A = this chain, B = another copy of it.
Amino acid sequence: MAKGTILSIDAMGGDAAPGVVVDGLAALLADRADISVLLHGNEPVLAPLVAAQKALAGRCQIIHSDTVITSDMKPSQALRRGKGSSMWNAVEAVKNGEAGAAVSAGNTGALMAISMLILRKMEGVHRPAMTALWPTLRGRTVVLDVGANLEADAAQLVTFAIMGEAYARAALGIAKPTIGILNIGSEEMKGHDEVREAHEWLRAAKLDIDYRGFVEGDDISKGAVDVVVTDGFTGNVALKAGEGVARMLGSRMREALTASLMTKIGAALAMAGLKTLRSQMDPSNVNGGVLLGLGGVSVKSHGGTDARGFARACELAADLASSHYRDEILANLARIREGGLAAE
């Protein structure tokens, strides 16, 4: 195997696995000479797919596994019956130090449960949080938690802020990410107790982070801050509500531009612009959710992604594997404890 970053890939997870997975890896490795791959899955199926890709020659080791975590398995079932599956083995390779990060496009709940069991939580983190990269007018914003937990108390929100900050630096390359806590705007009742308390903590604590205060739902797409902190219920609803609006508008736009011969001709002429728009809005450009707060990197690719989207999730995993984000999180968590603000 080549030197550099080694990724541990679940080849069998996702709607179009393993084809999309192997295609995505081939595209990625053609670009990135510093990455090599451990590919977990059904060897007889994978071998010809890998052999067909020049870019993978000598840089992709297939590791056979007999079983697969299916998309309808509950997390508890995955924990009981998942040992030896491609997903399990992919995560275990990170634990064993054979790879710097794991990537799977499979069952989200199962990946969270298996990653949590195998990689364990980082010291000082009680509740890992799921991240999303949200496309904005200024680039991308990290939103967390988007569903790893149903609720979050003030101490957990503070931990999310610290984790999201280090993650934004590693994943987006922003030297000093700005942070906001998601709240609603009405006067005189500024948020839940949890949200107000976390706000006071982040203001008082001597952390090396750029906390900007409260933001509202519409500030996310504006890119008002680089990291938006919220509980998993609110974050999940906001993310899916936003995705729903984007899909609805995309569908309305197609209808509008194909309504008549004239609009069709216009749309054809405007195609270059519309293609730019589509690529800006393409979910595969921002693919990759990370469960932060674990003792190793585990990245969830969207199950319905294409090869390019899968490559993006792998690139994100490689960036995280080669960054110091976990040390930065640990340092800020220690500052919190020294400041007497720890509550978890």
A218 vs B184: C-alpha distance in the bound complex, in angstroms? 20
Contact check, B257 vs A270: say whether CB atoms are below 8 A apart.
Answer: yes
In residues 262-279 of chain A, which contact B (Cβ within 8 Å)? 262-274, 276-277
Residue A248 at the chain B interface, CB threshold 8 Å: yes
Residue A204 at the chain B interface, CB threshold 8 Å: no
Complex partner residue of A269 from B182, B238, B246, B262, CB under 8 angstroms: B262
Residue A280 at the chain B interface, CB threshold 8 Å: yes
Instruction: Spot the interface stretch: A97-105, A157-165, A186-194, A334-342.
Output: A186-194
Contact check, B269 vs A252: say whether CB atoms are below 8 A apart.
Answer: no
User: How many copies of this chain sit in the oligomeric assembly?
Assistant: 2
Chain A, interface residues (CB within 8 Å), range: 35 or more
Contact check, B238 vs A217: say whether CB atoms are below 8 A apart.
Answer: yes
Instruction: Spot the interface stretch: A48-56, A168-176, A228-236.
Output: A228-236
Residue A213 at the chain B interface, CB threshold 8 Å: no
**Separation in Å of the A212 CB from the closest CB of chain B?**
17
| Cβ-closest chain B residue relative to A259 | B273
A260 vs B185: C-alpha distance in the bound complex, in angstroms? 39
Contact check, A238 vs B236: say whether CB atoms are below 8 A apart.
Answer: no
Residue A136 at the chain B interface, CB threshold 8 Å: yes
Contact check, B273 vs A263: say whether CB atoms are below 8 A apart.
Answer: yes
**Separation in Å of the A214 CB from the closest CB of chain B?**
12
Contact check, B277 vs A272: say whether CB atoms are below 8 A apart.
Answer: no
Residue A344 at the chain B interface, CB threshold 8 Å: no
In residues 303-343 of chain A, which contact B (Cβ within 8 Å)? none
Contact check, A182 vs B109: say whether CB atoms are below 8 A apart.
Answer: no
Instruction: Spot the interface stretch: A7-15, A117-125, A219-227, A292-300.
Output: A219-227
In the complex, chain B residues whose CB is within 8 Å of the CB of A266:
265-271, 273
Residue A247 at the chain B interface, CB threshold 8 Å: yes
In residues 22-50 of chain A, which contact B (Cβ within 8 Å)? none
In the complex, chain B residues whose CB is within 8 Å of the CB of A192:
150-151, 233
Contact check, A218 vs B234: say whether CB atoms are below 8 A apart.
Answer: no
A233 vs B151: C-alpha distance in the bound complex, in angstroms? 13
In the complex, chain B residues whose CB is within 8 Å of the CB of A233:
184, 191-192, 234
**Separation in Å of the A40 CB from the closest CB of chain B?**
23
0/1 per residue, A91-115, Cβ < 8 Å to B?
0000000000000000011000000
Residue A242 at the chain B interface, CB threshold 8 Å: yes
Contact check, A240 vs B256: say whether CB atoms are below 8 A apart.
Answer: no
Complex partner residue of A244 from B217, B247, B274, CB under 8 angstroms: B217
Q: Given A263-B269, A263-B273, A270-B257, are A252 and B239 also a contact pair (CB < 8 Å)?
A: no
In residues 2-22 of chain A, which contact B (Cβ within 8 Å)? none
A222 vs B251: C-alpha distance in the bound complex, in angstroms? 11
Interface residues of chain A, those whose CB is within 8 Å of chain B, are 74-76, 108-109, 135-137, 147, 150-151, 182, 184-189, 191-192, 216-222, 230, 232-234, 236-249, 251-253, 255-260, 262-274, 276-277, 280-281
7 new A-B contacts, CB < 8 A, other than A238-B241, A256-B277, are A234-B234, A245-B245, A245-B246, A259-B272, A259-B276, A260-B272, A263-B269
- 10 A-B residue pairs with Cβ-Cβ distance under 8 Å, sorted by A, are A109-B188, A186-B236, A217-B237, A217-B238, A217-B239, A220-B244, A242-B242, A253-B253, A253-B277, A256-B277
